[in-house]
Amino acid sequence: MQLVQLAFRNLFRNTRRTILTVLLISFSLTALIITDAMMRGMTDLIVKSITETLLGEAQIHKLGFRDNFDIDLFIDDAADLEDSLSNDPTVLAHASRTISGAIISSSYNVTGGMVYGIDADAEADLSRIKIAVESGTYLSGKPNEILIGKTMGELLEIKLGDRIVVTLTEANTGEMTQALFRVSGLLHFGITEIDKNMVFINIDEARKLIRLGEHGAHEIAIRFRNPEDAKNPDLAVFKDHNTESLESLSWLQLNKEVSSIIEMSSYGTLIIGLILFLLASLGVINSMFMSIYERIYEFGVLKAIGTRPLDLGVLIMVESLLIALISCAVGIILALLISEYTSTVGIPLGEMEFSGLAISDRILTQFHISQITELPIYVILLTMVSGLYPAWFASKIIPTEALQRSL
């Protein structure tokens, strides 16, 4: 007969209470694991939404361009930069872009917007522009093709094949220039800012229009083989291309608002975890005390026949540990079963725009090994901490008082 065996048998003196305590702790752990998995899924969705839509995971610009999108601040030899990116093993895809403000006119209406000159083939591997084509066709490299946001199309009252005039400013000279385009595709990103304000044309045409030269670009968007590389400032992409005239920034630096939201979401998990485990701890303390009060006479006897106070305390702690271990096993199994469903079928959100991001997908909860290693350790530690006071109480029971209590 060992201490663990005695503690284990004690747990099943009042099976119903033990089951309820185990369920309380295991449900808390399950909820925490699912919350963590959901937060990870949500974060992943947000990150993908922000990086895959248009931004990329990193961008290189001429220093100062981002301050007010000055058309004159362009990279002279983007081709050279793109060559070095092609040889970088961490880089999966990259694409040069021109960006300029423009007046876009149809036969019926006029609006302001941003004209992106894009490399259609390269963009297909980097952004969602091709996927966002709701009607018509993606850019094929033919002259006068233009992709327009659906909302802008409605504003301009145009349809596929209609003509529109884009008025731009030439770089360096500041001269106005105009070009006629035929709408080849209407885009729907689900992001108001893009759908309403952006048009996309072939980069070669854009370069000619705004006179950026053969290899000029305002922006080079980059996608890494490992998306986590965006967080690594020691990467060659960031170290080599942050110079006196260039800046190379990750999406976390380009969109600080969203990166702050993501950072805050981890605190959300922490707060939910704390609340859940505070409640579970109170349940454990309550359960252990009920169990001790039922056994006060017995503890008196145990001390009377020579059980040391420390041994009684250890017995209660072992009971707490066993409750924690059983709860963790139940909690993990429950969480894995639920995760199996939510990670494949997902949790539907409907279509929503959140902080300039289109979230039209389902949240697919994401399993991470820490959910079944770290989180259960916290649960075990917290349950043990909850067991400390009852254990101390049991060790302090005075035999004569305990024996009299039940006589």
Q: Please choose, from the candidates 332, 326, 314, the residue with its C-alpha nearest in 3D space to the C-alpha of residue 392.
A: 314
- Token pair, residue 288, equals 């252990």
Closest to 183 (Cα-Cα) out of 135, 127, 111, 115: 135
Strand partners, 101: 114
Buried b (16+ CB within 10 A) or exposed e, 7-38: beebbeeeeebbeebbbbbbbbbbbbbbbbbb
The stretch among 82-90, 178-186, 197-205, 396-404 that binds another protein (CB under 8 A) is: 396-404
* Window of 24-32, 50-58, 198-206, 306-314 that interacts with another protein by CB under 8 A: 306-314
Which of these segments, 24-32, 181-189, 379-387, 398-406, binds another protein (CB under 8 A)? Answer: 398-406
Q: Pick from 236, 235, 237: which is nearest to 222 by CA?
A: 237
Q: Is 193 in the site for another protein (CB under 8 A)?
A: no
* Least spacing, CB of residue 306 vs another protein, in Å: 2
DSSP H helices in 295-398: 296-304, 309-342, 370-395
Per rule CB under 8 A, count of chain residues that contact another protein:
23
Among 178, 308, 373, 389, binds another protein (CB under 8 A): 308
User: Whole-number minimum distance, CB 304 to another protein, in Å?
Assistant: 5
Asked whether position 9 contacts another protein by CB under 8 A, the answer is: yes
182 pairs with which residues across the strands? 145, 163
Is 368 strand, coil or helix? coil
CA angle, corner 52, sides to 39 and 269, nearest 5? 10
Nearer to another protein, 129 or 402 (CB): 402
- Find the binding residues for another protein in span 10-39 (CB under 8 A): 10, 12-13
Does 405 interact with another protein (rule: CB under 8 A)? no
Contact 183, 161 (CB under 8 A): yes
Nearer to another protein, 305 or 369 (CB): 305
Residue 302 contacts another protein per CB under 8 A: yes
Whether the Cβ atoms of residue 286 and residue 387 lie closer than 8 Å to each other: no
Q: Mark the segment that binds another protein (CB under 8 A) among 7-15, 157-165, 177-185, 347-355.
A: 7-15
Q: Which of 121, 157, 311, 340 binds another protein (CB under 8 A)?
A: 311
Rounded to a whole number of angstroms, the minimum distance from the CB of residue 31 to another protein is 32
- Of 274 and 304, which has the nearer Cβ to another protein? 304
Residues that bind another protein in the complex, under the rule CB under 8 A: 1, 6, 9-10, 12-13, 297-298, 301-309, 311, 399-400, 403, 406-407
